[in-house]
Structure 1
Amino acid sequence: MAPVIRIDGSVADPTAGTVRIDWPKAVWNGAMLLGTACAIALATWQSVLLFLALTYATLLIGHSVGMHRMMIHRSFKSPRWFARILIYIGTLVGVSGPSGIIAIHDIRDWAQREPACHDFFAHRRSLFQDLVWNLTCRFEFDRTPVLTIESKIADDAFYQFLDATWRWHQLLIAIVLYWIGGWPFVLWGICARVFVSAAGHWTITYFCHNPGPGRWQVKAAGIQASNLPGLGLLTYGECWHNNHHAFPESARIGIEKGQSDPGWWIIRMLENIGLAYEVGRPRGNKARGDLLDLTQDQRSNS
């Protein structure tokens, strides 16, 4: 598959700018954190089980499969009606609407693939500061890259509706959860789920960009990614981030033997029943001129 290019950074500088408080983001995530504290005080085993199931399902199906692999990287296609379902589930994760997720991801990805970038994108500060930045702040560029989202998303009335109303969709779920299980279900199924989803996402992102095990190096990129062994099931396969930096076109992220990838299992199931097609795999050896295979270098030096 052709690479997805939405950023024109020709006049931008990924190292120059200021981290500023983003009040809507800070208030939203702060409210979810407060609700999580209340949830702990009212915990029941049923509400905690609900939290675990909803958190895993929405992140796996909506964020990893729908928003990340399908919408952002176009590593597979689905019928329009089904793609909308996947992206709607991704919106329910509670981080942003479709266009917001694309902007967060693509600007960060562009900055990391430049020779140098600000610590806000590089995850070089402490875990605590990185979490505070990403849950409460935005980066204000001195010279901003131009983001162009393809018309099938930017001009789609349904996705525009999600962009404008994404926070309010939690209210619909909250009403159902209150009817089923009262306030413990609401606090665990909304507040704790949204906060843990956002904080957990950035925690994995932080460790995936503080280098550890990884086979591939992207030649021109200032920031390299790591794989996190043993976390495939917990992270839906997103922990194999070194693979993903090397092969963003691949719907399968856990590409090596023993790399569990639940997101890929879902996509393969969808492919088998006709709901996923044009499924991307890692590009062939002749198209890997931008990569260094560090395992080959290790073998040649041994």
Structure 2
Amino acid sequence: MPTTAQSPPSPPPQAYDGTSPFPRDDGPAPPRGGGERLFVTVTALIVVLPFVALGLAGWLLWGRLIHPADIVLAAVLYTITCLGVTVGFHRGLTHGGYRAVRPVRIALAVAGSMSFQGDVIGWVATHRRHHAFTDRPGDPHSPYRYGTHLRGQLRGLLHAHVGWLFRNDATSAERYAPDLLADRDITAVSRAFPALCFLTLALPFGLGWAIGGTWLYGVTALLWAGLGRIALLHHVTWSVNSLCHLIGDRPFRTRRHDRATNLWPLALLSFGESWHNLHHADPTSARHGVDRGQIDPSAAFIRLMEHLGWVSEVRWPTPTRIESRRT
């Protein structure tokens, strides 16, 4: 099994003062496959469709056709796909916080792909690039792209939350994720992304129909446990990109210009990802919530897998390592 890569080394420092807008052109973007119009259309469908469907569901069905099974299915599928992103895509494949046995590695990559957040290799490459250039030119989704004045911050917040998805600013997988491109299992999961997007919607529809006995139960499950669940997880993930670089506490030192914060209101929904300041201070750490009362469900799941023998070489933070990074 290929070794999971740690965060790439920091690039040479650039002439950036920490407050000015980023240069308009951060360098030539790698070419995209297909036309730009097709890319924008597909991105818009992935980003907007779950929110439109959720609003439509609330308008048509609230108080009439929302069933307990929809809520249970939504919670179960949210847990599975969120762990796929936080434990699989992020702490495992991106940062090498642990080594997983092959079936678990594949299963987590599949679960993360069912979150509708892009194929696994593209997701990892983009996140590694974010760490290489955090909050300075080259960062694909920094809220400081347009400067630190009020108008720039508001524009940057929108950019970091969702606007960056529509920019022609592709991240090179050859540069940032060559280890995954060389991994046949992960490349197979990456190629299967469209099919997994279909599966993540077909599954709640089929289960809802099976539980309720009619196609109408399948439709409500599709809306709430499918599209609604995807919309919620999208918003939570994007909030880590945006809010967790603007507001919150910074008890740990990070690199110059890196403004990652801890934002406790997002901790439960993000499964511990919003303890973002510690993560940027120590990216390979398998636990992000390291202080008393900081709930980190993703770390708890990694601990469970370690006990079961499914993962090994877990990079747990030590007290000395934590204290050495405090401000």
User: Do the structures match in fold with TM over 0.5?
Assistant: yes
Q: Which residue of 2 aligns with 1:140?
A: 169
Q: Which residue of 2 aligns with 1:82?
A: 104
User: Which one is further off, 89-98 or 148-157?
Assistant: 148-157
Query: Conserved in 1, the CA contact under 8 Å of 2:86 and 2:273?
Result: yes
Counterpart residue identity of residue 272, structure 1: H
SS at 1:216 equivalent: coil
Q: Which residue of 1 aligns with 2:77?
A: 54
In 2, Cα distance between equivalents of 1:2 and 1:82: 13
TM-score by length of 1: 0.80
Q: What is the identity percentage for the equivalent residue pairs of Structure 1 and Structure 2?
A: 22
In 2, Cα distance between equivalents of 1:98 and 1:24: 17
Which of the pair has the greater relative contact order for Cα pairs under 8 Å at 6+ separation? 1
TM-score by length of 2: 0.74
Give the alignment partner of residue 121 of structure 1, picking from 129, 134, 141.
141
Q: Which residue of 2 aligns with 1:30?
A: 48
- State whether structure 2 residue 191 is matched by structure 1 residue 161: yes
- State whether structure 2 residue 84 is matched by structure 1 residue 66: no
- State whether structure 2 residue 326 is matched by structure 1 residue 293: yes
Shift of the alpha carbon at 1:171?
A: 4.5
Query: Conserved in 2, the CA contact under 8 Å of 1:254 and 1:261?
Result: yes
* Backbone CA RMSD of aligned residues: 3.6
Counterpart residue identity of residue 32, structure 1: P
- State whether structure 2 residue 245 is matched by structure 1 residue 209: yes
CA distance 1:12–1:25, shift in 2 (3 Å)? farther
Shift of the alpha carbon at 1:176?
A: 1.6
Query: Conserved in 1, the CA contact under 8 Å of 2:53 and 2:228?
Result: yes
User: Which one is further off, 179-188 or 39-48?
Assistant: 39-48
CA distance 1:84–1:266, shift in 2 (3 Å)? same
CA distance 1:147–1:23, shift in 2 (3 Å)? farther
Task: Name whichever structure is richer in strand by fraction.
Answer: 1
**Once the two structures are superposed, what CA deviation does each residue of 1:3-32 show, in whole Å capped at 9, x if it has no partner?**
724589569998443899833211222222
Q: Which runs of 5+ in 1 are unaligned?
A: 295-302
Q: Which residue of 2 aligns with 1:237?
A: 272
Q: Which runs of 5+ in 2 are unaligned?
A: 16-21, 30-35, 145-152, 211-216
SS at 1:122 equivalent: coil
- Residues 261-300 of structure 1: pairs in structure 2 closer than 5 A: 261-282=296-317, 293-294=326-327
CA distance 1:171–1:276, shift in 2 (3 Å)? same
User: Which one is further off, 82-91 or 176-185?
Assistant: 176-185
**Once the two structures are superposed, what CA deviation does each residue of 1:142-168 show, in whole Å capped at 9, x if it has no partner?**
x99933420576543532433464433
